[in-house]
Amino acid sequence: MTHLLTAQDMREIERSAMEDGIATGAELMERAGRRVVEALQAEWPDGGRTARRAIVLCGPGNNGGDGYVVARLLHGLGWSVSVHGMGATEELPPDARANRQAWEGIGSVVPLSGDLRIGQDRPDLVVDALFGTGLTRPVDGLGGLFRDIAECRALGCPRVVAVDLPSGLCSDSGRVIRAEGTEPAEAAIAADLTVTFHRPKLGHYLSEGPSFCSRLVAADIGLRPEATAGKGVPLAAARAAALAKNNASHKYDNGHALVLTGGSGRTGAARLAARGALRAGAGLVTVGVPASAQLEVAAQLTAIMLTRVDDGEELASVLEDTRLNALCLGPGLGRDRVRALVPVAVKAGRGTVLDADALTAFEDDPAALFADLHEGCILTPHMGEFSKLFPDLAAPLKAAPESGPATSRLDAARAAAARSGATVLLKGPDTVIASPGGAATIAASVYERAAPWLATAGTGDVLAGIITGLLARGFATLDAAASGAFLHAEAARGFGPGLVAEDLPEELPRVFRALGV
């Protein structure tokens, strides 16, 4: 399982490797530079043609040190290399200084100026080694150069390789560190390929990270895997063994999910969720319908059962059946029904997914919702819904982050989980899932797992249903949310272009087969 690290984690891993004599800083830097060159050769094998020209931009720290290694190695491969550097040689940290001096034995270092325009030089490659995990404030005075690089890159030349991280991007949040009023494109360099070291960082996966990194390679620089133990946040993945069913099991062994619908004309979202719960493997799924919508829903369902739930009292009596072990409220529920049904559902103490209306109906009084939430509850907001329930936690995500490490979506989800007492799944291409105790997972549909067709109406309802189905099957809360988000994205990827929400549950059998379930 891949774990995403913070900059602090990485510094600790590097420090312990040096203290334990695993490698010196100079060795790590040499390997880092070498891995970058290997990765760009593997990415662009056509780099073997003659007239290869690179501009290497080197910053004032160890990221810049890696850049001086890359410059030396590219020169050794016959490239024509120009180096533009920040800071004076004697001010650089020791390993970076040594590598700059080694480069100075080969060529010059032009002081980096914001007036540099790469369009005039027409290089094949720009190596961005300005800032990596040490970025703490907006990059100053280089906006014009960054815009120039972006404009040239948009025309197809040069290619841009980022060393460790695109400069300007915050390693812990994936947000561009920038002054209020500036655009991300003038505060960070978008790359075609990003080569990071040892393990990916949170910033490669969260927020703007993937769009600035484009392609991500995590290269081995000889740090021990054990050094990472206990560090980082795992990327969600599905475990075939956990998803498989026992051949001897009865339908009730796989739980009974109850999904509550809205009134007449508003039942589609809950039916989508119910179908998701059934395909995720719940033994039985029942939809709870108000009298006004009973006929409409009955006409649409076959394997899914139906029971009448008009108000809180009826819900309480339905829930006397303790075999109903997972509940889903929100999709299409309608605000009036939310206020009547959510408190009863939550107090029943079952695994409970609250989505859509079940969240926004508490906009005026989130504390009223949080008061009864328990560890079996999962809130599944997208950013708009999150802002309504947790406006103070959403605010720093909307403002330009002027210093690093910046508040991340993970920080916000963790704080929301702690406050609400429920697991919070904050939806996006970088879905973050946090439980009240601080445990977290990231279910990212980015890079080779991108699922752009998921951004369509009704897909969130299916996600709520899949998670409810997994809760019914007995998955622990965080695991249900993380596995549900993973399966949901895999179903979207498997179906591909043209996907609509109805396709997601029907794609799950193929996802299970591909996972070896």
Ligand X SMILES: NC(=O)C1=CN([C@@H]2O[C@H](COP(=O)(O)OP(=O)(O)OC[C@H]3O[C@@H](n4cnc5c(N)ncnc54)[C@H](O)[C@@H]3O)[C@@H](O)[C@H]2O)[C@@H](O)CC1
Of the candidate spans 24-32, 288-296, 375-383, 422-430, the one that interacts with ligand X by CB under 6 A turns out to be: 24-32
Binding site feature residues for (6S)-NADPHX: 62-66, 132-138, 164, 269, 332, 382, 461
Query: Using the rule CB under 6 A, is 113 a contact of ligand X?
Result: no
Nearest CA to 471 among 218, 281, 240?
281
Q: How many residues bind K ion (CB under 5 A)?
A: 4
Contact residues for 371 (Cβ-Cβ < 8 A; gap 6+)? none
| Nearest distance in Å: CB 194, ligand X | 11
Write each residue from 218 to 247 as x if it is in contact with ligand X (CB under 6 A), else as -, in one continuous string: ---x--------------------------
Closer residue to K ion (CB): 166 or 288: 166
Among 6, 62, 167, 445, binds K ion (CB under 5 A): 167
Closer residue to K ion (CB): 164 or 357: 164
Query: Using the rule CB under 5 A, is 95 a contact of K ion?
Result: no
Query: Using the rule CB under 5 A, is 163 a contact of K ion?
Result: yes
The single-letter DSSP state of residue 480 is H
Among 6, 63, 325, 387, binds ligand X (CB under 6 A): 63
Query: Using the rule CB under 6 A, is 59 a contact of ligand X?
Result: yes
CA atoms of 50 and 80, how far apart (whole Å): 10
3-state SS, one letter per residue, for 67-110: HHHHHHHHHHCCCEEEEEECCCHHHCCHHHHHHHHHHHCCCCEE
Q: Which residue has the tokens 């961005």?
A: 128
Among 136, 249, 317, 403, binds ligand X (CB under 6 A): 136
Contact by Cβ (8 Å): 325, 349? no
Query: Using the rule CB under 6 A, is 163 a contact of ligand X?
Result: yes
Binding site feature residues for AMP: 427-431, 460
Among 5, 58, 71, 135, binds ligand X (CB under 6 A): 135
Query: Using the rule CB under 6 A, is 23 a contact of ligand X?
Result: no
Query: How is residue 260 written in tokens?
Result: 């509550």
Query: Which does residue 10 touch among K ion, ligand X, none (CB within 5 to 8 A, set by kind)?
Result: ligand X
CA atoms of 194 and 425, how far apart (whole Å): 28
**Helix, strand, coil % over all residues of the chain, rounded to 5:** 45, 15, 40
**Please, which residues bridge with residue 216 across strands?**
194
Contact residues for 339 (Cβ-Cβ < 8 A; gap 6+)? 361
Among 9, 95, 124, 128, binds K ion (CB under 5 A): 128
Look at the chain and count its residues: 517
Of the candidate spans 59-67, 109-117, 313-321, 479-487, the one that interacts with ligand X by CB under 6 A turns out to be: 59-67
Of the candidate spans 155-163, 316-324, 345-353, 405-413, the one that interacts with K ion by CB under 5 A turns out to be: 155-163
Neighbour-count burial for 279-291, b at 16+ CB within 10 Å, e otherwise: bbbbbbbbbbbbe
Query: How is residue 201 written in tokens?
Result: 């960082």
> Which residues contact ligand X (rule: CB under 6 A)?
10-11, 14, 28-29, 32, 59-66, 93, 131-140, 163-164, 197, 221
